[in-house]
Structures are given as structure tokens and as C-alpha cells.
Amino acid sequence: MNFADIIIKKKNNCELTKEEIEYFVDSVVKKTVPDYQISALLMAIAINSMSDRETAELTKAMTCSGNVLDLSDIKGIKTDKHSTGGVGDTTTLVLAPLTASLGLPVIKMSGRGLGHTGGTLDKLESIPGFSVSIPIDRAIEQVNKKGIVIMGQTEDLDPADKYLYALRDVTGTVESLPLIASSIMSKKLAAGADAIVLDVKTGKGAFMKNVEDAVRLADTMIRTAKAMDRKVTALVTDMNEPLGLNIGNSLEVIEAIEILKNRREGRLKEVSLALGAEMLVLGRIAENTEEAMALLERNIANGKGLEKLGELIEIQGGDPKVINDYSLFPQPKAEYELEAEEEGYVYSINCYDIGRASLNTGAGRAAKESPIDYSAGIIMHKKVGDTVKKGDVIAEVFSANIEKCIVSAEIIKNAVVISSERPEKRKLIYEVLR
């Protein structure tokens, strides 16, 4: 098979066969064709898109490009959750222990963050002693005993995606719906998921900037999953302002704990429960989302969700005392309060810029090899629609030195628009696609 012929075929907007797609993925993994040819095919796909059949075939080939985890030794329906990413998005740390406390087997493979904050693994590693390096046999044993594990992705999982994602990032082909869908779905399927709940973000702080594009992406992933005999539910949720009030690794763990202690309401809790309810329905723990939501609320109120988080921390080597003593988390060396200079209403918050401010504090990584400051970050004291008086604290900023705090505070100041006009309330969950 000639790789150049495949490029020309897709350039001419013709459908690729199953064999041609498998040859493409096999060439990526075995590195038998140069990057410039792979990049050319990616560009042809980005321009001319792919049919549902092609997207499903690409997803299958990528899924099988490395090891596919066999989780059949775990009883129950293994239901995973994936978010397309956002600012203050701490849903995993809320819904994973909550759903596990209700009997759903939770084996969550997560990654590290590149950007404004760390990923789920970085957040958990802000807990002293917590280990995310769990061999798969031990992970299965842990889920069967305790119902939950959150671990790092194994190196041999979906190697095609790692290679293709790196190329897409530098060739302007990231924003292709078939390539995004196959990237997300292949990782989840290789990780052994029976069913998947997707949180597709939209807004200034998200990859998909408008609702229509986010719905198209969600629909593409659902159609891909259906072709592969998997059940998927997708929620399209707002990311025009931070989801949680805490942005930063240890700060986000603390906010998740506060929700599980039934001390905090708001956007993060609402989305976490909505996603968790869909997981319980797909996992056949609940008949419908209303019943599932009641179960989740019950296990917040009775403390069983918090108890499960404590079990997770302890079994993975962390210090469970952090749940009641936040001083055990890494502590920042400097902090700064940003005060309002005028009164009115918070009309809008540029979520992207809040992410930039968080990155500047040291809470995120500008490059993969960059160190991360677990104590750095931002606590927002105001959200869109809140009343503001002159002198009110808009945000607290934490970092390794006061200079970083001040620069980050200036970014936040420019990101928060205060107006005499109260803004219209925006939807938090735009669509639910099943």
C-alpha cells in the first residue's frame, strides 16, 4: 500500500477504506513513514473531515495500537468520565468518590496537566504521600476491595494517539472533529470502559468556543461510540467563567473536600452531580437521573462520599488527615488580595485569562518538563452576577513570591468586568445528548 495514494485520496475528499485507515495507524506506531506524510494526511482529514464509518474505523485502529485493558475481573459496569478541560474543573475529585460510595466501580486513568493548572494526577499528588503509580493488577484488586482507584495512564496505552496528538498540535490540525473524537474515544476504550460520560465544555475558557461546535463534537463522539457498541452520554457545559472558585492543585482538592462535606454549593457541585448521575444510570445503579441525583445528594449529606475519598487517599499512600487539616497541604510563600476599585455587578469573567493568571502563579506548566507549584493558584471570591462594592475582595492569589502574585492579580483585574448592569443568567448545562 502506498501512503502517498492515501493522502491523495483524502485530499480529493474520498472515503478511506478500513484497510487504508489501519495502514495509516500502523505506519504511525511503527514509524515507517515520515512525519511530513502523516502531517499531510492529517491536514487532508482536517479540511475534508471523515464519515461516521471512517471515524469509527480510525478510533478502533487507534484503540488497538497498544494494549487494551481487560477489566473483566471487576464486577459491574465500568463507567468512565472525560472532560474536554476547563478552568477550575475539579469534577473528578467530587464525582469519583461519590459514585464509588454508591457501588459503581471506579477505575479512573488520568493525566497530567499542560496549561493553567495541573491535571487530576497533579492535584492528587498535592496530598502528601499520595501515589498515582499503580500497576494494573493492583488497581483491579483495589477496585474490587474499595471500589475506586485513580491512577496514571500506562505508557503502552493508545501509542498512536500520543504521536498523532503531538503532530496535530504543531500542524494546525487540532480543531478537526473526527480527530478530536477518535483521540478521546480511543483512549477511553483502550482503558477498558464499558460506558462513558463526556463533559464537553464550551465558552471562552474551553477548546470549543460556541455551543454549536460543542454539540457537533459531542454528537460525533456519540455516533462513534454507537458504531463500536458502547454507550455514551454527553453533557455540553458552560466554561465562560471558572467552574469552581478554587483554581490550583491543592486548592482544587480542598474545594472538592468542601463539597463532599456539604459546605459548598455552586457550579462545580451542580456539574459534578449531573455527570455523576449519568454515570450511575449508565452503570445501572439507578433507573433514571432523578433517582441518581437523590442518591448522590444523600451520600453527601451522610458523609459516605467524603469517607470514600478518605479511603482512596489512605490506600494510595496519602495522608487522610488532610481532609480535616488543610495546613497539611503545601503552603504558599506569598499571597495577595485583589480588591474591587468600583461598585456594580460582575458582568463577565474572561475564563481564558483567569487560566493565564493561574499559570503565572506556578499552578500549571508552560512545557511538559516544567515543575509545578502545588500551593499556587487563585481563589475567586466573586462570580458572574454577584454584587460588588468598592474594596470587596475579588480574588486571593497565591504563589512563591509577591511579584508573581501581583502580576497574576493584574491579569485577573483585566479579566473581571464590573458593570452597573446586571448580566442575564447563562445556562450551565446547555445540552444532554444520549
Choosing from 60, 81, 116, 168, the catalytic residue is 168
Answer whether 289's CB lies under 8 Å from 278's CB. yes
pLDDT at 235 over 80: yes
Residue 376 is predicted with a pLDDT of 97
112 catalytic? Reply is no
Residue from 187, 201, 269, 308 carrying the catalytic annotation: 187
168 is catalytic: yes
- Per annotation, catalytic residue among 110, 183, 186, 408: 183
Band of pLDDT at residue 90, cut at 50, 70 and 90: very high
Q: What is the pLDDT of residue 153?
A: 80
269 and 94 Cβ atoms separated by less than 8 Å: yes
Give me the pLDDT at residue 58, please: 97
Q: What is the mean pLDDT of residues 16-30?
A: 97
Out of 60, 78, 82, 382, which one is annotated catalytic? 82
Using CA atoms of 313, 331, 152, 54 in order, give the dihedral in degrees to the nearest 10.
Answer: 120
Cα 133 to Cα 322: distance, rounded to the nearest angstrom: 20
Q: What is the pLDDT of residue 85?
A: 84
Report d(CA 81, CA 108) in Å as an integer.
8
- Whole-number pLDDT of residue 115: 63
**319-359 pLDDT per residue, tens:** 999 999 999 999 999 999 999 999 999 999 999 999 999 99
Q: Which of 80, 89, 122, 161 does the annotation list as catalytic? A: 161
pLDDT band for position 12 (50/70/90)? very high
Catalytic, 183? Answer yes
Domains assigned to the chain: 3-48 (1.20.970.10), 79-323 (3.40.1030.10), 331-419 (3.90.1170.30)
**Residue 102, pLDDT score:** 98
Q: Return the pLDDT at 166.
A: 86
Is residue 366 predicted with pLDDT exceeding 80? no
pLDDT tens for 50-65 read 999 999 999 999 999 9
To the nearest 10°, report the CA torsion of 163, 166, 169, 171.
-60
**Percentage of the chain with pLDDT > 70?**
99
Q: Residue 39 is placed in which grid cell?
A: 502531517
Binned at pLDDT 50, 70 and 90, residue 114 comes out as: low
